[in-house]
Structure 1
Amino acid sequence: MAEAKASRVRNGYDSNGSGPRPAQAARECSYFEFLKCKPLDFKGTEGVIRLTRWFEKMESVFSISNCTATSQVKFATCTLQDDALTWWNSDVKTTTPEAAHAMPWAALKKMMTDKYCLRGEIKKIETEMWNLKVKGTDVVAYNRTFSNPSFDVFQMYPRRDRQE
């Protein structure tokens, strides 16, 4: 009997066998639900590594909160503070808030990368990466260093001499 009940549940029937369960529609997340996932703030003075971590955390929060693509930029830019908020507000003034919030997340990431990933800082991290060496047999420490979020920045900001 238990096996038959489990089979009905697996095949889309509710537990009392009365028929198919209605599919639940995905709910659009609210700003309150977005904030409950504790997104990071970004001030614009923290550097490349912090910006990279902000991107990663935002994408995690988008996923966890079921944030739709149409709300991502609007919600993410509400976490900007200080210099970053001033920069965003000045950009919004060149268009309308609706148009600014309608841009894709990838476009905002590109704009922020161009603004906050200074070439000198990128060059410093790049040099550190190219000079990374294994000390003795400590491969675990080498891998931990190489998987540091600061190295992820190269995906966003490739070297000019390697571009086609």
Structure 2
Amino acid sequence: MSGGASNNILSLTIDELKEKISEEVGRAIEVSLPRFIERLQNTLLSTMEEKIGELREDLTNDRGKSKEKKGCSYNKFMACKPPIFNGEVDLIACQRWISDIEGVFERTHCDASDFVAFGTGQLRGQAKDWWDNLRNERGVEATRAMTWEDFKTPFLKHHSPKAVINKIKEEFMQLRQKGETVDKITGTFMDKLKFCDELVKAEEQKIYYNHTMLRAEYREFMTPSHYESLTDIINAVWEHEIELKRQVERGERRALDENPSPAKKSKVAESSKKGNAKGGSPSCKICGRARKGECYFKNKPCVACGKTGHGVSNCPDKVTVCYKCYQPGHKKSECPELTGKKEGADSKNETPKSNARSFQITAVEAKMEPDVVTGVDFKTVVWLP
């Protein structure tokens, strides 16, 4: 074989070998490529999920921090027109201001740390002077760290003294409807009822006191024991008021004299006294009113004890409440607090009385004494210390 032919065969063999290698490599790549791609995809997906989770956590934290920092701005709080308190010594007005401003806190989602700062910004006049004085006493840092409950305690103590609360309790016990409408007297009743929790606890007691304050035109058609809640009797009174107005419009009833003059009251009192003096109707043992014949309240239960056969005025189980100490069992005139004070005052004011002394002298001796008034013929002269 010549040298040229051998070179051709060698070149062909190398080409075939390269081709063979290429084919094998291609086959190997085809077999391993899907697995490689799958691994690559899994690696990329896991990495992406991890990064996305971290981003979500960071976003959540940032939103939480932004909400905590944002809260309610002062401009948003003022846009709701929070009420102003001038510092009047009125327990009802004080409680209403607290309730109204807490309602603004709730509606604006105000942060609790801003309650005192925003709330005290609505104080004016004497209330503002009180707050400035308290802040000077406790210091700026202490008032900044003060919670809303810490603020309300001295605030209510200063603007609602015990004497005012006792006065409201006494007014509640003596509350009677005169010339007011049902709506007005009911509003007054509810305002004072908030401060009489110690006196009026049960629902039956609330119904009883609400019925007692009404005018006779309403009481005579209503029995407290027929109502289960205070709301029921209030609604019934409103309905009866509407019916009375309709009767007046139809001419079936005279209009109620809402503001009777003092002269008219005295005439009515005098006529009633004359009637009793002339031997009028005797007082009923059940209801205590002057009437003839059978009493309408004979079979009706007493509003105080629920038993029949007597009225509230003659109830043996009726509890007497003192208007001074608000304790049952005695009247205000018999209150130990008042009687104790009177006895102490009387004992302090008592001074020892001196006994009178008398001396008997003659008329001549009387003329000789410079301390004796002469000009009257007398035998006995009395000197008082």
Q: Pick the TM interval, shorter chain.
A: 0.5 to 0.7
How far apart in 2 are the matches of 1:30 and 1:154? Answer: 38
Change (3 A) 1:54 1:93: same
Equivalent residue number for residue 117 of structure 1: 160
Aligned pair 1:51/2:76, yes or no?
A: no
Q: Provide closer, same or farther for how the CA distance between residues 68 and 41 of structure 1 changes in structure 2, counting only shifts above 3 A.
A: same
Q: 1:153 to 1:85 in 2, by over 3 A?
A: farther
Offset, 1:98: 3.2
Residue 130 of structure 2 corresponds to 87
Name the structure, 1 or 2, with higher relative contact order (CA <8 Å, separation 6+). Answer: 1
Q: Deviations over 1:55-99 (max 9, x none)?
A: 011110110111111110111011111111111111111233232
Residue of structure 1 in register with 2:151 after alignment: 108
Pair 141,95 (structure 1): closer, same or farther in 2 beyond 3 Å = closer
Query: Alpha carbons of 1:43 and 1:67: their partners in 2 closer, same or farther (altered >3 Å)?
Result: same
C-alpha distance in 2 between matches for 1:102 and 1:154: 33
Alignment of 1:13-52 (within 5 A): 26=67, 27-52=70-95
How many residue pairs get aligned? The number is 134
Identity %: 29
- 8 Å CA contact retained: 2:116, 2:148: yes
Q: Within 1, Cα distance between the matches of 2:108 and 2:71?
A: 9
Q: TM-score, normalised by structure 2?
A: 0.31
Tell me which residue corresponds to 2:194: 152
Deviation at 1:161, TM superposition (A): 7.3
**In the alignment, which residue of structure 2 is the partner of 1:14?**
none
Q: Does 1:96 align with 2:135?
A: no
Contact 1:41 1:81 in 2 (8 A): yes
Map residues 122-137 of structure 1 onto 2, 5 A cutoff.
122-132=165-175
SS in structure 2 of the partner of residue 56 of structure 1? helix
CA RMSD of aligned residues (A): 3.1
Superposed CA deviations along residues 93-130 of structure 1, whole A, max 9, x for unmatched, are 12332321321211211111110112222111111223
User: 1:9-31: per-residue Cα shift (whole Å, max 9, x none)?
Assistant: xxxxxxxxxxxxx9875540111
Report the structure number with the largest CA radius of gyration. 2
- Per the alignment, do residues 95 and 32 of structure 1 end up closer, same or farther by CA in structure 2, a change over 3 Å counting? same
Amino acid at match of 2:127: A
What residue ranges of structure 1 are gaps of 5+ in the alignment? 1-21
